[in-house]
């Protein structure tokens, strides 16, 4: 599970950096590497980044519930 979290976090970071490049410079790095936005490989990368973001919601939700239970116990 830890390896999957690291891989998905890495993909989310890649996606965030790619969106930053799109916003700042109108340059889609994923499309440039894999032959355009409509290429099969680029679409696979986009899908994996999206699925990774959904997966990363799990540790995010757990971190909120862990803090809440620690706060209820008086632990900081």
Domain boundaries of the chain, sorted by first residue: 2-73
pLDDT computed for residue 71 by the predictor: 53
Q: Whole-angstrom Cα distance, residue 53 to residue 35?
A: 23
pLDDT computed for residue 74 by the predictor: 60
Phi, psi of 13 (to 5 degrees): -65, -45
pLDDT computed for residue 8 by the predictor: 97
Which tens digits make up the pLDDT trace of 27-76?
A: 999 999 999 999 999 999 999 999 999 999 999 998 888 766 655 556 55
Q: Whole-angstrom Cα distance, residue 74 to residue 76?
A: 7
Distances (CA, A) of 43 to 27, 30, 66: 16, 9, 35
Q: Whole-angstrom Cα distance, residue 36 to residue 72?
A: 51
């Amino acid at each position: 599970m830890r390896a999957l979290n690291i891989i998905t976090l890495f993909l989310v970071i890649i996606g965030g950096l790619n969106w930053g490049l799109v916003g700042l410079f109108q340059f889609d790095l994923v499309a440039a590497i894999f032959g355009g936005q409509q290429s099969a490989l680029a679409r696979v990368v986009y899908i994996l980044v999206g699925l990774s973001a959904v997966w990363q919601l799990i540790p995010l939700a757990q971190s909120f519930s862990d803090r809440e239970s620690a706060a209820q116990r008086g632990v900081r």
